[in-house]
Amino acid sequence: MREGKPSQTAAMVAFLRALADLGVTSAKGFQDPTAQHLLPAPWSQLLALFRRSARRRPLSESLANARQGADLLALRTLMIDAHLRDALAQGARQVVILGAGLDGRAYRLRELSDVRVFEVDHPSTQAWKRRRAAVLPVLAKSLTFVPVDFERDSLDAALTQAGHEPGVPTVWLWEGVVMYLTSTAMRATLRVLAARSAAGSTAIIQYNTRPSGPHALSLLLRFWKEPQISLHTPEVIAAELGAVGFHVSSDTGTDEWARRFDATSPGEMRQGARVVVARK
């Protein structure tokens, strides 16, 4: 984490969403116009280069390779959005995005118009995002930023201070974070979620299993000093959720996402990515 700037992984995720928004993805119907507005340099310059490359036919090798990453993020986003809409349709009126990074949902999902959104993240990433997002209209009923370092700060106290209501059904979105936390920090966070979840609350968690072989991204994350330190099986995740009173209703991987959204599976970029949905 660099002081005053988002993490490299948060920037990379936003870059891949922005690339998919340009059409560099096989996922049908994906749109996220917010992503390009949130990019720090040099990611914004890189996007400009890829935008020019996207106009060429045939696609450059670098763009073809980047498409796998864009497919992964587009599909991951589409899947989580679908689960979020389902939870909102069942009556949830609060959304807490844990480790929000450069997430754009509060600025692009009209289904949040009568929903209070809380974005929880490291203060450095959040400060950058608030400056960059100032030009974007908020579509949620309200958006509250909650600065928290998951390894050090009290999430419970921070949410109380921010005005989260434990008696109101909540959707907890935890995307692309669990793999960077210790198991101790993950369990502590799950206990807070359970304690603050009224009946009808939903947890939507993206996590990674162990890849089947070596992956270049793992080396890059270590170079950035942002390694993935916690990879879990679906059985372990289900057990951890069950221990705090959440019951898994679905747990899907990239091949299933690709079939649902009529897209090409992300291939080597899939990294064992999964999304689990659990209800209280």
- For the segment 167-207, what is each residue's pLDDT rounded down to a tens digit? 999 999 999 989 888 899 899 999 999 999 999 999 999 99
Query: What is d(CA 206, CA 160) in angstroms, rounded to the nearest whole number?
Result: 25
Could you tell me which of 34, 77, 13 has the C-alpha nearest to residue 261? 77
Q: Would the CA dihedral through 27, 36, 275, 212 be positive or negative? A: positive
Q: What angle do CA 62, 273, 258 make, to 5 degrees?
A: 70
Q: Which CATH number fits domain 73-279: 3.40.50.620, 3.40.50.20, 3.40.50.970, 3.40.50.150?
A: 3.40.50.150
Q: In the structure, what pLDDT confidence band is assigned to residue 219 with cuts at 50, 70 and 90? A: very low
Question: Does the model's pTM come out above 0.95?
Answer: no
What the block records as the tokens of 188 is 């502590």
Find all residues with CB under 8 Å of 278, minimum gap 6, and list them: 202, 203, 205, 238, 241, 246, 247, 248, 249
The separation between CA 121 and the C-alpha centre of its own chain, rounded to angstroms, equals 12
Q: Quick check: helix, strand or coil at residue 49?
A: helix
Per DSSP bridges, beta strands 170-174 and 202-208 are parallel
User: With 50 as the cut, is the pLDDT of residue 213 above it?
Assistant: no
Q: What is the pLDDT of residue 256?
A: 94
The tens digit of pLDDT for each residue in 72-83 reads: 999 999 999 999
CA distance 220 to 227: 8
How far apart are alpha carbons 150 and 120 in whole angstroms? Answer: 9
